[in-house]
Amino acid sequence: MANVPYFLDIHNLGAGNVTAAAVANAHKKDLATQHKYGVNFLKYWVDEIKGQVYCLSSSSDEESIKNSRENADTNGVGDELILGVGSVSEILEGKYAFKKAPLVVANILAPVIVRLFDAGLVDLIEADGAIVLSGILFEQEQSVIEAGQARGLQLNERRQIADWVALTMSR
């Protein structure tokens, strides 16, 4: 089973400029076009107070996400896309437009996730945020859970397909 990268799409629409109902409608448009671009829009979160929308998607490459997002933007969805590939330390040092996020996603093997925890991965999660960890082999799952719990995270959800496990943890 190949690992498919996850991408977090962040839209800053401004306080008072977004409603959950509007985002639900926009998500329907995303779902209607995702097959054209090789993208799977998985889940979204709305912060009506801050005017932010977070969309979790998966695809074989960043370009597919960007193409799909351009199409969704044509339909009036969002104005900002933040995608980045870099190290935890680069993010914490401010080399990206953000240092923390309400949702952090890591799709990589368990030993690397544990090393990322050692490098400060938990520091990227906002106080009330969550992290989705995937690409974990079943027999290595417990090491990831223990590493997250040792850093103050609690396990919220676990999913498994064949030998692969995905975990959601929060502060």
> 88-170, superfamily in CATH?
Vaccinia Virus protein VP39 (3.40.50.150)
Q: Summarize pLDDT for 21-35 with one digit per residue, the tens.
A: 888 887 887 787 777
3 state SS of 82: coil
Residue 151 φ/ψ, nearest 5 degrees: -110, 20
- Please determine, for residue 60, whether its predicted confidence score (pLDDT) is greater than 70: no
Segments making up each domain of the chain, as ranges: 6-74, 88-170
CATH number 3.30.70.3090 is the correct assignment for the domain at 6-74? yes
More confident residue, 37 or 92: 92
Instruction: Read off the amino acid at residue 97.
Output: A
